[in-house]
Amino acid sequence: MRAFIGIGLPPECRRAIGEAISPFRARRLAVSWTPEQNLHVTLKFLGETPPGRVDEIASLLLAAGSGIPAFEFLAEGAGGFPSLRAPRVLWVGIREPLELVGKLQENMEKVLSGAGFPCEERPFHPHITVGRVRDRLPPGWGEKYASALSGKPFGAVGVNSYQLYESRLSPGGAVYAVLRDIPLPRGPERTEREEKGK
């Protein structure tokens, strides 16, 4: 099965992003737009993974998040990789606390590399992929996309857990199924109570 790790978005955030990109979707350009229900923040793509390793991976992810309290980030703005002049990926951005998202991803890479999963060599830039460009776009189109969504807020995302997903290919496109929901600690108060109970 094809697996990846990500942070899911609440329906109202996904809806706001879907409404913002709908004018661009209507132009029928060479872009494969992400279905609204599939929008998420990708932390790591695992690729083909034996189903028998799901419980092992979930345990590793629980350890990776053990020192990171639940947090909240804002979905806002837009951009493109590798550049807006010639984008291959169109995205919506996320704002603070990027250090917690980055720390979670760093911890995750460490524990998974110990289990034989290769580390991602590219720098980690957390984002929400909204479209993948299939062919050349009209000049200036990427800049217009980013400008239209610049500074536009799509809502706060409370992160109490993160998810191990399976990506199932179907005639209608990819369908994402949550295999495991990995909880994060709720903060210092919970940690203190747990320490006292030991």
- Sequence-ordered alpha helix ranges (H) in 41-183: 54-64, 98-113, 141-149
- Token readout for 163 is 């998810």
Give catalytic residues, as residue numbers: 40, 127
CA separation for the pair 108, 122 (Å, rounded): 15
184 CB-near residues (< 8 Å, 6+ apart): 65, 68, 69, 70, 71, 159, 160, 161, 162
Half-sphere exposure of 93 (CA within 13 A, CB side): 18
Handedness of CA 178, 81, 74, 109 (dihedral sign): positive
- Token readout for 143 is 């800049």
Contact 88, 82 (CB under 8 A): yes
